[in-house]
Structure 1
Amino acid sequence: MTITRLLARPLLASMFVAGGVNALRNTEVHAAKAKKVADRVVPLAQQAAPGVSIPTDPVTLVRINAGAQILAAAALATGRVPRLSATVLAASLVPTTLAGHPFWEETDPQAKSAQRLQFVKNASVLGGLLLAGVDTEGKPGLAWRARRAASDVRREAKQVAKDARREAKLAKAQLT
Protein backbone atom coordinates (compact mmCIF):
# COMPACT_ATOMS: atom_id res chain seq x y z
CA MET A 1 0.00 0.00 0.00
CA THR A 2 1.37 3.38 -0.94
CA ILE A 3 1.73 6.33 1.41
CA THR A 4 -0.88 8.13 -0.67
CA ARG A 5 -3.47 5.47 0.11
CA LEU A 6 -2.45 5.42 3.75
CA LEU A 7 -3.14 9.15 3.99
CA ALA A 8 -5.94 9.56 1.46
CA ARG A 9 -8.42 7.10 2.94
CA PRO A 10 -8.41 8.51 6.49
CA LEU A 11 -8.54 12.07 5.15
CA LEU A 12 -11.47 11.23 2.90
CA ALA A 13 -13.21 9.36 5.71
CA SER A 14 -12.75 12.10 8.31
CA MET A 15 -15.45 14.28 6.75
CA PHE A 16 -18.00 11.50 7.17
CA VAL A 17 -17.13 10.75 10.78
CA ALA A 18 -17.50 14.43 11.66
CA GLY A 19 -20.68 14.77 9.60
CA GLY A 20 -22.22 11.60 11.03
CA VAL A 21 -21.47 12.61 14.62
CA ASN A 22 -22.87 16.08 13.93
CA ALA A 23 -26.04 14.57 12.45
CA LEU A 24 -26.51 12.37 15.52
CA ARG A 25 -26.01 15.33 17.87
CA ASN A 26 -28.38 17.57 15.89
CA THR A 27 -30.81 15.02 14.49
CA GLU A 28 -33.88 17.26 14.60
CA VAL A 29 -32.20 20.08 12.64
CA HIS A 30 -30.94 17.64 10.01
CA ALA A 31 -34.33 15.89 9.86
CA ALA A 32 -36.05 19.18 9.04
CA LYS A 33 -33.68 19.67 6.12
CA ALA A 34 -33.93 16.01 5.07
CA LYS A 35 -37.73 15.99 5.01
CA LYS A 36 -38.02 17.51 1.52
CA VAL A 37 -35.62 14.97 0.03
CA ALA A 38 -37.06 12.08 2.05
CA ASP A 39 -40.59 12.92 0.90
CA ARG A 40 -39.43 12.49 -2.70
CA VAL A 41 -36.93 9.63 -2.37
CA VAL A 42 -38.72 7.27 0.04
CA PRO A 43 -41.74 6.64 -2.26
CA LEU A 44 -39.35 5.93 -5.14
CA ALA A 45 -37.38 3.52 -2.96
CA GLN A 46 -40.59 1.82 -1.84
CA GLN A 47 -41.61 1.34 -5.48
CA ALA A 48 -38.18 0.00 -6.39
CA ALA A 49 -38.16 -2.46 -3.48
CA PRO A 50 -41.81 -3.31 -2.77
CA GLY A 51 -41.15 -6.03 -0.18
CA VAL A 52 -38.63 -4.01 1.84
CA SER A 53 -39.73 -1.98 4.84
CA ILE A 54 -38.27 1.50 4.36
CA PRO A 55 -38.64 4.03 7.18
CA THR A 56 -40.47 7.23 6.27
CA ASP A 57 -39.66 9.28 9.36
CA PRO A 58 -36.91 11.84 8.55
CA VAL A 59 -35.42 11.52 12.06
CA THR A 60 -34.95 7.77 11.58
CA LEU A 61 -33.54 8.30 8.09
CA VAL A 62 -31.02 10.87 9.39
CA ARG A 63 -29.91 8.47 12.12
CA ILE A 64 -29.55 5.57 9.67
CA ASN A 65 -27.58 7.78 7.28
CA ALA A 66 -25.34 9.04 10.09
CA GLY A 67 -24.67 5.51 11.32
CA ALA A 68 -23.91 4.29 7.81
CA GLN A 69 -21.52 7.20 7.30
CA ILE A 70 -19.67 6.62 10.57
CA LEU A 71 -19.33 2.85 10.04
CA ALA A 72 -18.34 3.13 6.38
CA ALA A 73 -15.90 5.96 7.14
CA ALA A 74 -14.25 3.86 9.86
CA ALA A 75 -13.97 0.94 7.43
CA LEU A 76 -12.51 3.17 4.72
CA ALA A 77 -10.04 4.85 7.08
CA THR A 78 -8.75 1.49 8.33
CA GLY A 79 -8.62 -0.05 4.86
CA ARG A 80 -11.29 -2.67 5.56
CA VAL A 81 -13.47 -3.30 2.53
CA PRO A 82 -12.42 0.05 1.06
CA ARG A 83 -14.32 -0.34 -2.20
CA LEU A 84 -17.59 -1.21 -0.50
CA SER A 85 -17.21 1.46 2.17
CA ALA A 86 -16.41 4.11 -0.46
CA THR A 87 -19.50 3.09 -2.41
CA VAL A 88 -21.69 3.29 0.72
CA LEU A 89 -20.30 6.75 1.49
CA ALA A 90 -20.93 7.87 -2.09
CA ALA A 91 -24.52 6.65 -1.89
CA SER A 92 -25.06 8.43 1.44
CA LEU A 93 -23.50 11.66 0.21
CA VAL A 94 -26.04 12.27 -2.56
CA PRO A 95 -29.15 12.74 -0.37
CA THR A 96 -27.05 14.51 2.28
CA THR A 97 -25.87 17.03 -0.30
CA LEU A 98 -29.31 17.53 -1.84
CA ALA A 99 -30.90 18.08 1.57
CA GLY A 100 -28.11 20.11 3.15
CA HIS A 101 -27.00 22.39 0.35
CA PRO A 102 -29.91 23.34 -1.94
CA PHE A 103 -28.27 26.48 -3.30
CA TRP A 104 -30.94 26.75 -6.00
CA GLU A 105 -33.51 27.58 -3.31
CA GLU A 106 -31.50 30.44 -1.76
CA THR A 107 -32.46 34.02 -2.53
CA ASP A 108 -29.71 35.78 -0.58
CA PRO A 109 -26.63 36.02 -2.86
CA GLN A 110 -24.18 35.37 -0.01
CA ALA A 111 -26.09 32.35 1.29
CA LYS A 112 -26.52 31.06 -2.26
CA SER A 113 -22.77 31.34 -2.87
CA ALA A 114 -21.95 29.56 0.41
CA GLN A 115 -24.40 26.73 -0.32
CA ARG A 116 -23.12 26.39 -3.89
CA LEU A 117 -19.54 26.12 -2.60
CA GLN A 118 -20.55 23.35 -0.16
CA PHE A 119 -22.53 21.59 -2.89
CA VAL A 120 -19.54 21.64 -5.25
CA LYS A 121 -17.23 20.50 -2.43
CA ASN A 122 -19.48 17.51 -1.83
CA ALA A 123 -19.61 16.80 -5.56
CA SER A 124 -15.79 16.78 -5.56
CA VAL A 125 -15.71 14.40 -2.60
CA LEU A 126 -18.23 12.22 -4.45
CA GLY A 127 -15.74 12.00 -7.33
CA GLY A 128 -13.01 10.89 -4.92
CA LEU A 129 -15.31 8.27 -3.42
CA LEU A 130 -16.20 6.93 -6.85
CA LEU A 131 -12.50 6.58 -7.61
CA ALA A 132 -11.92 4.85 -4.28
CA GLY A 133 -14.88 2.59 -5.03
CA VAL A 134 -13.25 1.21 -8.16
CA ASP A 135 -9.63 1.22 -6.96
CA THR A 136 -8.31 -2.33 -6.99
CA GLU A 137 -4.83 -1.42 -5.70
CA GLY A 138 -3.30 -2.95 -8.79
CA LYS A 139 -5.11 -6.25 -8.28
CA PRO A 140 -7.66 -7.48 -10.78
CA GLY A 141 -11.19 -6.53 -9.84
CA LEU A 142 -14.13 -8.89 -9.58
CA ALA A 143 -15.44 -7.99 -13.06
CA TRP A 144 -12.05 -8.69 -14.65
CA ARG A 145 -11.76 -12.01 -12.82
CA ALA A 146 -15.28 -13.00 -13.92
CA ARG A 147 -14.52 -12.15 -17.57
CA ARG A 148 -11.24 -14.05 -17.32
CA ALA A 149 -12.96 -17.11 -15.82
CA ALA A 150 -15.62 -17.05 -18.55
CA SER A 151 -12.92 -16.81 -21.20
CA ASP A 152 -11.05 -19.73 -19.63
CA VAL A 153 -14.24 -21.82 -19.57
CA ARG A 154 -14.94 -21.06 -23.25
CA ARG A 155 -11.37 -21.97 -24.20
CA GLU A 156 -11.54 -25.21 -22.21
CA ALA A 157 -14.94 -26.08 -23.73
CA LYS A 158 -13.55 -25.60 -27.23
CA GLN A 159 -10.60 -27.83 -26.39
CA VAL A 160 -12.87 -30.53 -24.95
CA ALA A 161 -15.07 -30.40 -28.06
CA LYS A 162 -12.00 -30.61 -30.30
CA ASP A 163 -10.65 -33.59 -28.32
CA ALA A 164 -14.06 -35.29 -28.45
CA ARG A 165 -14.21 -34.90 -32.26
CA ARG A 166 -10.70 -36.31 -32.58
CA GLU A 167 -11.53 -39.26 -30.33
CA ALA A 168 -14.75 -39.88 -32.27
CA LYS A 169 -12.77 -39.96 -35.55
CA LEU A 170 -10.24 -42.38 -34.07
CA ALA A 171 -13.01 -44.61 -32.72
CA LYS A 172 -14.77 -44.57 -36.08
CA ALA A 173 -11.53 -45.41 -37.88
CA GLN A 174 -10.94 -48.37 -35.58
CA LEU A 175 -14.43 -49.72 -36.23
CA THR A 176 -13.99 -49.68 -40.01
Structure 2
Amino acid sequence: MPIDSRLSPLDEATMAPDQRRVLDAILSGPRGNLDGPFLAWIHSPKLADHAQRLGAFCRYGTRLETRLTELAILFTAAWWQSQAEWQIHAPIARESGVSEALIEALQTGREPAFERDDEALVYRLGKTLYTTRRVDDALYAEAVAAFGEAALVELVGIFGYYALVAMTLNVFEVRRDTAPLPFAEP
Protein backbone atom coordinates (compact mmCIF):
# COMPACT_ATOMS: atom_id res chain seq x y z
CA MET A 1 0.00 0.00 0.00
CA PRO A 2 1.45 3.42 -0.92
CA ILE A 3 2.74 5.53 1.97
CA ASP A 4 3.07 9.31 2.14
CA SER A 5 5.00 11.45 4.61
CA ARG A 6 6.49 14.90 5.00
CA LEU A 7 10.00 13.45 4.70
CA SER A 8 12.12 13.74 1.61
CA PRO A 9 11.68 10.62 -0.51
CA LEU A 10 14.37 7.96 -0.55
CA ASP A 11 16.37 7.82 -3.74
CA GLU A 12 18.03 4.51 -4.60
CA ALA A 13 20.77 6.32 -6.49
CA THR A 14 21.84 8.55 -3.60
CA MET A 15 21.15 6.22 -0.68
CA ALA A 16 24.12 5.95 1.70
CA PRO A 17 25.67 2.52 2.25
CA ASP A 18 24.39 2.45 5.86
CA GLN A 19 20.89 3.21 4.63
CA ARG A 20 21.13 0.43 2.05
CA ARG A 21 22.37 -2.06 4.68
CA VAL A 22 19.52 -1.25 7.08
CA LEU A 23 16.97 -1.22 4.27
CA ASP A 24 18.14 -4.67 3.18
CA ALA A 25 17.89 -5.93 6.80
CA ILE A 26 14.33 -4.61 7.09
CA LEU A 27 13.24 -5.99 3.73
CA SER A 28 14.74 -9.42 4.40
CA GLY A 29 13.30 -9.63 7.94
CA PRO A 30 9.84 -10.67 9.13
CA ARG A 31 8.22 -7.40 7.99
CA GLY A 32 9.40 -7.54 4.40
CA ASN A 33 8.57 -3.89 3.68
CA LEU A 34 9.53 -0.32 4.53
CA ASP A 35 6.19 0.42 6.18
CA GLY A 36 5.33 2.65 9.09
CA PRO A 37 8.12 4.32 11.04
CA PHE A 38 10.89 2.74 8.98
CA LEU A 39 10.14 5.23 6.25
CA ALA A 40 11.31 7.92 8.71
CA TRP A 41 13.97 5.99 10.60
CA ILE A 42 15.85 5.00 7.44
CA HIS A 43 16.93 8.67 7.28
CA SER A 44 18.98 7.87 10.41
CA PRO A 45 20.44 4.44 9.68
CA LYS A 46 21.81 3.87 13.19
CA LEU A 47 18.45 4.60 14.79
CA ALA A 48 16.71 2.49 12.16
CA ASP A 49 19.04 -0.43 12.77
CA HIS A 50 18.50 -0.48 16.53
CA ALA A 51 14.79 0.31 16.35
CA GLN A 52 13.99 -2.31 13.73
CA ARG A 53 15.66 -5.03 15.79
CA LEU A 54 13.82 -3.99 18.95
CA GLY A 55 10.58 -3.77 16.99
CA ALA A 56 11.01 -7.24 15.53
CA PHE A 57 11.41 -8.61 19.04
CA CYS A 58 8.45 -6.64 20.45
CA ARG A 59 6.17 -7.76 17.64
CA TYR A 60 7.34 -11.31 16.96
CA GLY A 61 9.52 -12.52 19.84
CA THR A 62 7.83 -11.94 23.19
CA ARG A 63 6.19 -14.51 25.46
CA LEU A 64 2.79 -12.87 24.92
CA GLU A 65 0.16 -14.17 22.54
CA THR A 66 -0.01 -12.14 19.33
CA ARG A 67 -3.56 -11.15 20.29
CA LEU A 68 -2.27 -9.41 23.44
CA THR A 69 0.68 -7.83 21.65
CA GLU A 70 -1.63 -6.40 19.01
CA LEU A 71 -4.04 -5.16 21.68
CA ALA A 72 -1.19 -3.27 23.37
CA ILE A 73 -0.18 -1.84 19.98
CA LEU A 74 -3.74 -0.73 19.18
CA PHE A 75 -4.14 0.77 22.63
CA THR A 76 -0.99 2.79 21.99
CA ALA A 77 -2.09 3.79 18.49
CA ALA A 78 -5.42 5.00 19.88
CA TRP A 79 -3.76 6.82 22.79
CA TRP A 80 -1.47 8.72 20.42
CA GLN A 81 -4.09 8.83 17.64
CA SER A 82 -1.45 7.52 15.30
CA GLN A 83 -3.10 7.17 11.91
CA ALA A 84 -0.65 4.82 10.19
CA GLU A 85 -0.01 2.72 13.29
CA TRP A 86 -3.74 2.08 13.54
CA GLN A 87 -4.10 1.48 9.79
CA ILE A 88 -1.30 -1.09 9.88
CA HIS A 89 -2.23 -2.89 13.10
CA ALA A 90 -6.06 -2.95 13.22
CA PRO A 91 -6.25 -5.66 10.52
CA ILE A 92 -3.47 -7.64 12.22
CA ALA A 93 -5.30 -7.37 15.55
CA ARG A 94 -8.49 -8.71 13.94
CA GLU A 95 -6.61 -11.63 12.42
CA SER A 96 -5.01 -12.30 15.82
CA GLY A 97 -8.35 -12.62 17.58
CA VAL A 98 -9.04 -9.15 18.98
CA SER A 99 -12.80 -8.67 18.71
CA GLU A 100 -14.33 -6.06 16.44
CA ALA A 101 -16.18 -4.56 19.42
CA LEU A 102 -12.90 -4.06 21.31
CA ILE A 103 -11.18 -2.56 18.27
CA GLU A 104 -14.08 -0.17 17.71
CA ALA A 105 -14.15 0.89 21.38
CA LEU A 106 -10.42 1.67 21.29
CA GLN A 107 -10.75 3.66 18.07
CA THR A 108 -13.66 5.73 19.36
CA GLY A 109 -12.20 6.25 22.84
CA ARG A 110 -14.95 4.36 24.66
CA GLU A 111 -14.33 2.08 27.64
CA PRO A 112 -14.35 -1.43 26.15
CA ALA A 113 -16.48 -4.29 27.40
CA PHE A 114 -14.06 -7.20 27.73
CA GLU A 115 -14.79 -10.84 27.07
CA ARG A 116 -11.33 -11.96 28.20
CA ASP A 117 -9.61 -11.16 31.49
CA ASP A 118 -6.14 -11.00 29.93
CA GLU A 119 -7.30 -8.34 27.46
CA ALA A 120 -8.85 -6.28 30.25
CA LEU A 121 -5.55 -6.52 32.14
CA VAL A 122 -3.49 -5.35 29.14
CA TYR A 123 -5.89 -2.44 28.70
CA ARG A 124 -5.74 -1.49 32.40
CA LEU A 125 -1.95 -1.67 32.37
CA GLY A 126 -1.71 0.56 29.30
CA LYS A 127 -4.24 3.06 30.57
CA THR A 128 -2.64 3.24 34.02
CA LEU A 129 0.87 3.50 32.66
CA TYR A 130 0.05 6.20 30.13
CA THR A 131 -2.22 8.14 32.49
CA THR A 132 -0.21 8.03 35.73
CA ARG A 133 3.21 7.01 34.37
CA ARG A 134 3.25 4.35 37.11
CA VAL A 135 1.63 1.01 38.01
CA ASP A 136 0.52 0.52 41.61
CA ASP A 137 1.37 -2.56 43.68
CA ALA A 138 -2.01 -4.25 43.23
CA LEU A 139 -2.03 -3.95 39.43
CA TYR A 140 1.61 -4.97 39.27
CA ALA A 141 0.94 -8.11 41.36
CA GLU A 142 -2.07 -8.98 39.19
CA ALA A 143 -0.03 -8.60 36.01
CA VAL A 144 2.86 -10.71 37.35
CA ALA A 145 0.40 -13.42 38.44
CA ALA A 146 -1.27 -13.41 35.00
CA PHE A 147 1.74 -13.06 32.70
CA GLY A 148 4.90 -13.65 34.75
CA GLU A 149 7.66 -11.13 35.34
CA ALA A 150 9.49 -11.65 32.05
CA ALA A 151 6.34 -11.26 29.95
CA LEU A 152 5.37 -8.15 31.93
CA VAL A 153 8.79 -6.64 31.19
CA GLU A 154 8.18 -7.42 27.51
CA LEU A 155 4.67 -5.92 27.61
CA VAL A 156 6.06 -2.67 29.03
CA GLY A 157 8.63 -2.79 26.21
CA ILE A 158 5.81 -3.12 23.67
CA PHE A 159 4.02 -0.09 25.11
CA GLY A 160 7.25 1.92 25.05
CA TYR A 161 8.39 0.85 21.61
CA TYR A 162 5.03 1.52 20.00
CA ALA A 163 4.83 4.94 21.69
CA LEU A 164 8.10 5.71 19.85
CA VAL A 165 6.51 4.39 16.65
CA ALA A 166 3.39 6.52 17.17
CA MET A 167 5.40 9.67 17.85
CA THR A 168 7.52 9.06 14.76
CA LEU A 169 4.48 8.51 12.56
CA ASN A 170 2.72 11.58 13.95
CA VAL A 171 5.66 13.97 13.63
CA PHE A 172 6.48 12.93 10.07
CA GLU A 173 2.81 12.51 9.06
CA VAL A 174 3.35 9.02 7.73
CA ARG A 175 0.07 7.90 6.17
CA ARG A 176 -1.27 5.18 3.97
CA ASP A 177 -2.55 7.41 1.22
CA THR A 178 -5.43 5.23 0.04
CA ALA A 179 -6.96 4.48 3.43
CA PRO A 180 -9.35 6.74 5.36
CA LEU A 181 -7.92 8.24 8.53
CA PRO A 182 -9.13 6.39 11.64
CA PHE A 183 -8.85 9.48 13.90
CA ALA A 184 -9.87 13.09 13.41
CA GLU A 185 -6.87 15.34 12.94
CA PRO A 186 -6.45 18.02 15.63
Same fold (TM over 0.5): no
Structure 1 or 2, whichever has the larger Rg, is 1
Q: Which has the higher helix share?
A: 1
Whose RCO is larger (CA < 8 A, sep 6+)? 2
Normalised to the residue count of structure 1, the TM-score between the two structures is 0.28
Normalised to the residue count of structure 2, the TM-score between the two structures is 0.27
